[in-house]
Amino acid sequence: MSRIAYYNGTIYTADCNNPIVNAFVVDDGRFVYVGAEDGIGECEEKIDLEGRCVIPGLIDSHCHMFAGVVSAASNMIFVEPDTKPSELGEKILALLEESPVADNQTIVCMGIELPMGDFCSSNIDSAFPDRPVVVFANDGHALLLNSTAMEELGINRDTPDPSKDSYYVRDDNGDPTGLVIEIPAMRPCAKLISEISMDARSAIIKELARAYTSLGYTGVFEASSIDSEDCENLVALFDIDQEGELPLRVSTSFNYGGEDSIELEDFLQVMEKCRANYSSANVLPNTLKLISDGTVEEQSALLFEPYCGAAPEGDNKNYGSEIVKYDEMKRAAELAADRGFSVHIHAIGDKAVCRTLDILTFLGDIKGTKTIAHNQLYRPEEIEKIIQAKDIFFQTTPHWATGDKHTLSVLGEDRYKMQFPIASALNGGVAVTLGSDSCLEEETSDAFKGIYYACTRGGSSLIEGQSLPPKEEAISRMDALMAYTINGAKQLSLGDETGSITEGKSADFLIIDNDIINCSLEELWETNVLETHFRGKQV
C-alpha cells in the first residue's frame, strides 16, 4: 500500500494531545504522521481535502446488528409507533400488500408502542384468523401474539409465567390476551420464526456490515449476540472476516438470562469455546451481557419508588421488573470477569442502576472493561457512586434525551428531571460512550443526530415538543464526538488500536460534509458521510 497524505482539512482527531490538525499520512493501513501540512514529507499520493472535515471512524457502543438477520430473513414489517390497537390488523394487512411474506412464514412485525392502548390478540385475529402473527414493541421488551400464534406455541391459561417480572398478560378469566412482557417470556416465541440457512445468514450480515460503514461506523458492540449454544451469527461473522470481507470491527456478546434459561457453568463454557474458536482481527467475542431490568415504556424498569398510576396488572404499587436476579448477575459477572471477559449490564431504572453499580464496583480491577448501559434514571447517590468508581463506562443513546409525555406521566415530575445525567457523569471524569441500541434504525443509528441530541436534549425547532430537563445535562459537541469515537473504542478494549487519529493507530477515519463542531444545528442534523476508511482503505 502506498504512502498517502491527506491535507488541507479540518481534522478532529479525538486525541487530547493533538486535538485539531490539518493533515495526516497513512502507510500500510496506519497513521504514520498527524499534524501540520508542512510535516507530511514525501508521499506517493497526496489528497487535497479542500477544507472538508475529517473525524475518526465511529464506534456504536451498543447496537443490535444481529437483530437485522432475523428482520431481513423474516421480511419483518414495520408498523408506525402511533398505531392504535383498533387499527393494528388492518395496518398489517395493508403493509403486507406492499411487502409480501411467503405463505409458510410467520408474519413478523415491529414498532407498536404499548402505551398507545390495551393491545390484545383480537386486534389481529379479525385480519389474520388462520395465520400466526408476532408484533414486537418498538423497545424490544414486549410483543403481541395473535390467537393462531398462541395456539402454535401452546400458550394458554395453564401456561406458567417465567416469573412475576416476565409474564403473559391475562384477562379476568386467567386466559392470556396475547401480550407478552419482557424477555424471558418472549424467548419461546422464537420458535415461530423460520430457520435461516448459513448462506442466507452470511449474505445478510455482509449487507448489514456495509450499511454500518456507510453511516461511518468502523466498530460496533453487538449487545445481544448469543444467549445459549446458538452461535450461528458469530460463526458466519468469523467466516466473513476470514474471507477478508468484513469492513469493520465487531465486538460480540454473550447474553446470560439467568439459571432458568441455561446453567451458568454451561454458559461460561460456551463463552470460552466461542472466544477460542471464533476470535479474529475484526471479530471479538469477549463480553458478558446481562439485563438488570426492563424499560420505562413497559413500566418494567426497576425503581426504588413505584410508578405513578395503576400498574399493568392493576397493582397500584408497581416497582418494575428484575429480569435477572441480583445474586445471579453478580456471580455471572464475577466468574466471567475472572476468565478475562468484559462485563456489560443493561440498567434503566434507578434501582437497577444502583444494583448494577454495586456489582461492577464489587468486581474491582478486571482484565476487560465494565459498562453500565442505557443509564436512564439516576438518583444523586448513584451519580456519586459511578464518579467514585472511575473505571465504569457510562453508555447511553442520546436520541432518547427528549421530552416525552408518557414518561412524565409514569415517572412524575421529580424523577422526570433526573434522566440521562450525561453531563454529570462526564464532568465527574466518567468515560461516556454513545450508541444506537438498534439495528440501523433510521434515526438512532445516525451519530450526527446523536451529537445533536446530546448537546440540545431535543431543545430546538427541528424537534417537536419540549426539551428534556435539566438543560445542564447537555454536553458539548466535542465531548459527544469523543463519546462516539475514542471512548467507544476504549469500552471495546480497542483504545490502543482505533478511536482516534493518532500516529501508530489503525487508519480508521471519515470524510464528512460539515464541520460538526462549528456548523449550525440545522447543518449538524443533516450531516452526511462522504467516505469511510477502515484500516487505510475506503470501504
Farthest-apart Cα atoms in the chain, separation: 81
Confidence of residue 464 (pLDDT cuts 50, 70, 90): low
**Contact at 8 Å (CB) between 20 and 62?**
no
463 has a pLDDT exceeding 70: no
pLDDT in the model for residue 404 = 85
Q: What mean pLDDT is reported for the chain? A: 94
pLDDT in the model for residue 310 = 59
Confidence of residue 466 (pLDDT cuts 50, 70, 90): low
- Mean per-residue pLDDT, 49-66: 98
- Helix ranges restricted to H, 135-216: 147-153, 183-186, 198-214
**Which helix (H) or strand (E) segment is 326 a member of?**
helix 326-338
pLDDT in the model for residue 256 = 95
- Mean per-residue pLDDT, 110-132: 90
Residue with cell 433510521: 442
- Helix ranges restricted to H, 375-525: 380-389, 405-411, 413-416, 422-427, 447-456, 477-484, 486-491, 521-525
Q: What is the pLDDT of residues 70-105, one digit of tens each?
A: 999 999 999 998 899 999 999 999 999 888 888 888
CA atoms within 13 A on the CB side of 174: 5
**Contact at 8 Å (CB) between 22 and 11?**
yes
Instruction: From 46, 42, 26, 43, select the one nearest 535 (Cα to Cα).
Output: 26
- Mean per-residue pLDDT, 114-125: 88
Write down the pTM of the prediction: 0.94
Confidence of residue 259 (pLDDT cuts 50, 70, 90): confident
pLDDT in the model for residue 260 = 75
**Contact at 8 Å (CB) between 489 and 498?**
yes
pLDDT, greater one: 515 or 226: 515
167 has a pLDDT exceeding 80: yes
- Mean per-residue pLDDT, 15-21: 98
- Strand positions, DSSP E, 256-318: 283-291
Confidence of residue 165 (pLDDT cuts 50, 70, 90): confident
Least confident of 7-21, 119-133, 276-290, 300-314: 300-314
Task: List, as one string, the DSSP characters of 9-74.
Answer: EEEE---TTS-EEEEEEEETTEEEEEE-GGG----SEEEE-TT-EEEEPEEEEEE-TTHHHHHHHT
pLDDT in the model for residue 138 = 86
- Mean per-residue pLDDT, 105-121: 88
Q: What is the pLDDT of residues 204-251, one digit of tens each?
A: 999 999 999 999 999 999 998 888 777 999 999 999 999 999 999 999
246, three cell numbers: 468484513
